[in-house]
Structure 1
Amino acid sequence: MIIYLTLFLIATILYFSANRKTPSIGYYIFIGLLILVSGFRDMIGGYDVYIYGEVYEYINKYTYLRSTFEKGFIAYFIGLNYINGQREFMFFITALIMVLLHFYTIKKYSPILYMSAFIFFCKFFLMSFVYLRQGLAMGLVWLSIRYVIQKRYMPFVCIVLLAFFMHKSAILFLPFIVIAHKKLGPYQLFLITTASFIIAISPLGQLILNYFIEGIDYAKLNIYGEKFTAINVFYLLEAVLLAYLALKFRKHFYQSTPTIVIFNGFLLYVLIILISLTNATFVRLAWVFFIFVVVALPYMYTFITDFKLQRTFKIAIFVYYTFVFFRLLTVFDGGDFMPYKSIFQDFNRNGQWEFMEYR
């Protein structure tokens, strides 16, 4: 717990530091600590972590043909395995690549670096322990944003397809190039968000998700597609708040090409959450557009001219994402992120998935 609290404290100090776009030494120290904490963790991250570890350590030439993982991800495993066959090496290199790719994009597009870093840390850092394939795919697909802004379709498609072979959810980014530069009116935004909510709570929502599953032929998503439940109130609240902010700041984003693209990516994140309200697992498909939330919220902060409102907005963002972080830490997998244990420590953390240890 102390490790997580230390990281959160550093992120908080950065968050309330002077607004800046250029990084300080403290920022780079923070990134380094994220890499070390994530990379040297000892089998923390749930069921999938043990599967990744076992596949990596027992990988062979037949795995490429038989594995249910994406071919690009297996190729990545095979390449790493030639260097070192221990799972500890794989987890560290994966954490290194993931963190560097993610924070490269944050630095490139955020108007307030520390605010974006805090939002990203609170929402995704812990999940990066779990979502190895998706985290790598996110880092790759976000490299294509520059080509979306420049309307360079060929490199954009190539990067998205590369990410698709790392995790199939990346294919959701492909249609983005078509709508990235569109300007929507307030009534259009209202109708789209309302329609998305109606679709989510109707049988049509399940039909659309099932069609998507069949379209990419992904066996694991077929399992997820069956997990329809009642409306997830937490995600509904998030979607409503973000949709409100989209309506409020729409005109400000429509002043330049980069911010138009950022706004439309932000809107797609909201729409995916709305459509997936009855399936908490499917909400993870929105991760590919999460970078736009990370970048758009600081832009909204800069659009506010009243100092008191600006301060209130910043505090509200801090409170909300603090809640998100500690909720993930204590609730996800029954709090299985705790206690933190590194590969250099020798104690029994009594994790609920330790029965899957194959060594």
Structure 2
Amino acid sequence: MYIYLLILAFAMAGALFLPHKTAKSTIYLACWMIGLAFFVGISDMLGGFDRYIYGEMFDEVADIRRSGQNPLTAFIFEQYPTELGYAYLNILLSYITANRYIFIFIVTLIIYVLYYVNIRRYSEDYKVALLLFFGLLFFFTFTYLRQMIGVGIAGLSFKFIYERKLWKFVIVVLIAASFHNSALILLPVYFIPIKKYSMGAIMVLMILCLLVGVSGVSSSLFEAYSSTSGLEERTTQYIEDTSGFRVAYLLEAVFFLWLILGNYSSIGKDKQQIALLNVALTFCATLLLFIRSENGGRLGWFFIMALVATLTTIFSQSYKNILNRTLVFFVVFFLYIRIVFIWGIRISPYKTFFTNGVRTGDIIYEKYEYDPNYALDKFYR
């Protein structure tokens, strides 16, 4: 656990004590993203079930290809028939390695390259962007490999919104959807007029989203969409247990709305800033729309890069606003620590795949390990 606290402490120290002129230091950002990519990529099946299923499917693809058979017959094409980008990435990487650890490491590098490009392209303060990344996405890069690639690719489409290049936007979103179909939720944002709406109009919209979310209508519509798109099983995972009310979604949406609207004048008339602002507000709307969904909040991940960009714009305009910065530090710390404690054995104690064996008490390994040989020799394949 302590290694995770130390990483966050270093990031906070950088945001606090490094001079403001380093806010857009590409060296600072690159060093962090490279370091995090290696930290996550070399970890030994941390994060939970998803790594095991991705590893098992990749192993099968590699075995089929090495035996001279047609890799298109692999189970991955049955499991993800509409997410062929990810399936073909498996085939491509099987020419490099047959080992699940090397596969996961390369995929993690791809994820962090995408996030580096997104943060560099849209953010005004890389130090603050990095902190927000820690609170909102960092731990999910351990396990949700497909969706994290999709989120990274989808973020590249934002520039085509304010540049008004519809087909380029659609193509990038479709590529993201080929890794995780839920990226299609981004398609409507292109048609949001690039204008700065009044705070009153925004609040009315958010209240409507909350009412729709509480009613359960949004989950029903999402389920109806799945029945025509072949995503019934995936959708069931997103909308399961709709009887509850996700207080965490409400608090997160309210906090970011308050932060954005409380500093609304910091957002100028620049088309890029306004387009990213509207996408960021869509993140809050998505949390409210799926406030009764167990996993629906994951749909909001596709808007997070715009949220990060908008908040860094605000802080770059009000760098000396101590209250805002303190609140963001507190919320990031809370979101980060919450996952550290909730995930528990899934990420702690930290272990790399450079040493053989299994972590003591690793119940995820005991439940989902499909090839015990990896415990004896991590590089036996």
Shorter-normalised TM-score: what interval?
Answer: over 0.9
**Match status 1:289 vs 2:303:** yes
Structure 1 residues 207 and 201: alpha-carbon distance in aligned structure 2, compared to 1, 3 A threshold: same
TM-score (norm: length of structure 1)? 0.93
- Structure 2 contact 160–168 (Cα < 8 Å) conserved: yes
Whether the aligned pair in 1 keeps the contact of 2:26 and 2:120 (CA below 8 Å) is: no
For the 8 Å contact 1:180–1:265, the answer to whether it is kept is: no
Structure 2 CA distance for aligned equivalents of residues 76 and 296 of structure 1: 32
Q: Is the 8 A contact 1:56 1:77 kept in 2?
A: yes
SS of the equivalent of 1:66 reads helix
Say which of 25, 46, 49 aligns to 1:23.
25
1:193 to 201, 206, 216: 206
Q: Residues 81-96 of structure 1: matches in 2 within 5 Å?
A: 81-96=94-109
Structure 2 distance, partners of 1:180, 1:291, is 19
| Counterpart for residue 274 of structure 2 | 260
Q: Is structure 2 residue 63 aligned with structure 1 residue 62?
A: no
Return closer, same or farther for 1:14/1:180 CA change in 2, 3 Å cut-off. farther
Distance 2:8 2:117 in 1: 20
Q: Distance in 1 between matches of 2:245 and 2:56?
A: 35
Query: Unaligned regions of 5+ residues in structure 1, if any?
Result: none
Deviation of the 1:337 alpha carbon: 1.1
Tell me, yes or no, if structure 1 residue 348 matches structure 2 residue 358. Answer: yes
Instruction: Report sequence identity in percent.
Output: 25
Of stretches 286-295 and 339-348 in structure 1, the one that deviates more from structure 2 is 339-348
Counterpart in the other structure of 2:287: 273
**Contact 1:265–1:289 (8 Å) recurs in 2:** yes
SS in 1 for 2:45: coil
The residue identity in structure 1 corresponding to 2:39 is V
Q: 1:167 is aligned with what amino acid?
A: H
Deviation at residue 107 of structure 1 after TM alignment: 1.3
For the pair 1:41 / 2:53, whether they are aligned, the reply is: no
- Summarize the alignment of residues 100-249 of structure 1 with structure 2, pairs less than 5 Å apart: 100-179=113-192, 181-218=194-231, 219-249=233-263
Whether 2:330 is the aligned partner of 1:319: answer: yes
Consecutive aligned runs of 4 or more in structure 1 exceeding 6 Å deviation: none
Task: Tell me the alpha carbon deviations over residues 106-140 of structure 1, each in whole angstroms, 9 at most, x when there is no partner.
Answer: 01111111000111023211111111011111111
Task: Single out whichever of 184-193 and 250-259 deviates more from structure 2.
Answer: 250-259
Asked if 2 retains the 8 angstrom alpha-carbon contact of 1:148 and 1:180, the reply is no
Preserved contact between residue 168 and residue 216 of structure 1 (Cα < 8 Å)? no
For 1:115 and 1:95, how far apart are their aligned partners in 2? Answer: 22
Alignment-derived partner of residue 6 in structure 1: 6
Where structure 2 has 5 or more consecutive residues not aligned to the other structure, the ranges are: 62-70, 372-381
CA RMSD of aligned residues (A): 1.8
CA deviation vs aligned residue, 1:39-72 (integer Å, no higher than 9, x gap)? 1011111111100000000113212542236211
The size of the alignment, in residue pairs, is: 355
Partner of 1:358: 370
Q: Which moved more, 1:184-193 or 1:223-232?
A: 223-232
Compute the displacement of 1:9 (Å). 2.3
Helix, strand or coil: the match of 2:363? coil
* AA aligned opposite 1:232: R
Alpha-carbon offset, residue 270 of structure 1: 0.2
Contact kept, 8 Å, 2:240 with 2:295, in 1: the verdict is no
